Chain A
């Protein structure tokens, strides 16, 4: 295939005036091509626009973006424009995406199979990243799974294609989004992209990641032979209906072609399903007040991480669902954790710790992080404060090891008080309470 720029070709960065040498073609999109390149010995990415997309408006938008810093390192933000003598068009420089980050499309196609923990972490990072973008008064305009990448092992995300970002409400950009990810009011022509419409697209992206399916593509989509504009307008704009709308099953998933959605939906705990239901019921009908905010998603994603349990038989990740558990207890059926979604055998719950409003499953590989013991701390999964450990000789005894610099105080169910110095562990026993300093947790079974 022939590309706009050739390996070895040089272009010039417009602000710093440095030489940028093209290394290789990385990929092409609807607006231009992206290359690996080198500027001042540093590997970067260079996006070069096709003539039809290299407009004066796009250049002006890029100049604004390049003049501001990225909302966070998660954004592959334009750092400066680049042009070349003899080549009429222009491009821009941005950080290079490491190979460990994979497209969400790769997950849809099962080329990568991340754990639920990685997926929940990715959801958290996406919500947090877009919160940071919106907090700056910016609007992404085009959230879809084509422009979000994540590390399938850790869930760390990167957001690319930031050249369509505009100042919120200054909606003059050329890009109105991808039809299936657009808010209904944009599809109908009633609104232009804004932070509020970004929230809808974010919900679609998250739903897609967790259910491997689009939230509005049920029976009605399965019946469409040709997805033309009138069909899309109806499906995503004028008559959008959530595939799991509790009050209307007219667009429920098709049993033959859309099985995935139903299978995944049943795996997740009620609190996640409820938030998706809100996003695609109230969020459809009331754009101003019904949308799920980034902070709501963030909280739910953290809770989802904390709810993961492992099947004792096949080791598959499952979710602890406190709501379902409470329902079984109150109905007199005892504490029933349900069956593994994978091998169908009964699940048993690990010890848990309840700290303020959160409940964390103390699996063999569990960690507590700063946000668990201090509401004001940010999510930082690189700095665990505690980890579950096994007693070196008594293999049935498990403990929680203090990885922090503070001494905890623990009170057993029988009222015995102990200090747990950094590096020491406290036995996981029913009723033991641990004071972490700013919060207290209680071990339950």
Chain B
């Protein structure tokens, strides 16, 4: 996964993923993933950013790989889709809503199938001594159609083109828009099925139906900042309002100190946040309009606000003080 940053003519992407504090203690890997395209130098739109949160449950013991395959496949499928759209915006919107979710699911399933073919489930993974770890996975996973569960993951995607921004989300996590004025909003509707630890998943039957899709025409006031996060980060906050404030705080920090400085601090914020908060893996990706840093003079937030305050009362914006 590319950590760091990438510059385009109008937008830049930065992001990081950190292993959750509880995963560190348990010795399990970071089951989140982040990936964006273009991955190296170049300045052509579209830009695509994808995040995934592997379930990490007993049955989903390959979800680290599932999440990685999800972000890599999704970024490529969405980029390829966007590159060939020459129809009207209305037609593109409908194709994005109607066709793309199915293509994303199919792409991921095929990537999983290829991985499985190269790395069949080992006796160790299915062995009875591991049954306690894998719960009832053994019986279910010997059926090849159910082996997708081993790779189960969520998926969040945002893509920026010259004329529109596209958001797709399956499962939990957060996507925020921050306007030039610092107003924070969610482009996607809430999904009532996501509560407690329940989430929709790429491995569910009919997963394409569970995607939420928003097609946002870049009209008079496009967002200055788009923020994608797996749920390990927002779950570290006391409440939803606290996390929403992160959006405007980060924009303020970018304006005060620049995106590079913010980028250097993201991993530290996430680490602090998961230690003091959710304990879960945490991943944050930012797509920032290049005009955002140029409005420093209007920044009204303090750096301390930048990453808000988590539910245990620890500020996560310490590193941002440097910004």
CB within 8 Å of B: which residues of A?
A: 1-2, 4, 28-31, 50-51, 105, 108-110, 142, 144-146, 174-175, 177-180, 222, 225-229, 257, 260
Contact = CB atoms under 8 A, between A and B. Distances in A.
Interface in B198-248: 206, 209-210, 215-217, 219-223
Most buried by A among B179, B185, B219: B219
A227 B209 contact: no
A156 B216 CA distance: 30
A175 B88 contact: yes
B177 A1 contact: yes
Contact of A110 (B92, B102, B206): B206
A228 B86 CA distance: 9
A187 to B, nearest CB: 11
Interface residues of B, number: 38
B176 to A, nearest CB: 10
Given A1-B177, A1-B185, A50-B219, A144 B94 contact: yes
Contacts of A29: 90, 93, 215
Nearest to B181: A2
Most buried by A among B86, B87, B187, B216: B87
Contacts of B98: 105, 108, 145, 180
The A interface is mostly helix, strand or loop, or mixed, namely loop
A224 to B, nearest CB: 8
Given A1-B216, A28-B217, A50-B217, A110 B94 contact: no
A229 B92 CA distance: 12
Given A1-B179, A1-B187, A180-B99, A51 B219 contact: yes
B219 A179 contact: no
A30 B91 contact: yes
Contact of B89 (A30, A142, A179): A30
Contact of B106 (A50, A180, A229, A257): A257
B183 A179 contact: no
Contact of A227 (B93, B97, B99): B99
Given A1-B177, A30-B215, A225-B80, A178 B210 contact: no
B102 to A, nearest CB: 8
A108 B93 CA distance: 16
Contact of A2 (B77, B89, B109, B220): B220
Given A30-B88, A51-B220, A179-B87, 8 more contacts: A1-B185, A29-B215, A30-B91, A50-B219, A142-B90, A179-B95, A222-B106, A227-B103
Contacts of B177: 1
B61 to A, nearest CB: 23
B196 interface: no
Given A178-B90, A180-B99, A30 B84 contact: no
Contact of B209 (A109, A145, A177, A257): A109
Contacts of B88: 30, 174-175
Given A1-B216, A2-B179, A30-B217, A109 B99 contact: no
B136 to A, nearest CB: 24
Interface in B69-105: 77, 80-81, 84, 86-95, 97-99, 102-103
A257 B92 CA distance: 23
Given A175-B90, A257-B106, A227 B216 contact: no
Nearest to B145: A256
Nearest to B224: A2
Interface of B: 77, 80-81, 84, 86-95, 97-99, 102-103, 106-107, 109, 177, 179, 183, 185, 187, 206, 209-210, 215-217, 219-223
A227 B81 contact: yes
B95 A1 contact: no
Nearest to A258: B102
A30 B161 CA distance: 14
Given A31-B89, A105-B97, A146-B94, A228 B84 contact: yes
Most buried by B among A2, A109, A174, A175: A2
Nearest to B183: A2
A2 B165 CA distance: 13
Instruction: Across the A-B interface, give the 9 residue pairs with the lowest CB-CB distance, nearest first.
Output: A30-B90, A30-B89, A228-B84, A2-B221, A109-B209, A226-B80, A30-B93, A1-B185, A178-B94
Given A1-B187, A29-B93, A227-B99, A110 B80 contact: no
Contacts of A144: 94
B209 A110 contact: yes
Contacts of A225: 80, 107
B90 A31 contact: yes
A101 B91 CA distance: 23
Contacts of B221: 2
A174 to B, nearest CB: 7
Contacts of A28: 215-217
12 contacts: A1-B177, A30-B89, A30-B92, A146-B97, A174-B88, A175-B88, A225-B80, A227-B103, A228-B80, A228-B84, A229-B84, A257-B109
B48 to A, nearest CB: 14
Contacts of B222: 2
Contacts of B106: 222, 257
Most buried by A among B86, B90, B103, B109: B90
Nearest to B103: A227
A323 B310 CA distance: 67
Nearest to A254: B106
Nearest to B193: A111
Contacts of B103: 227
B98 to A, nearest CB: 7
Nearest to B192: A111
A13 B272 CA distance: 55
Contacts of B183: 2
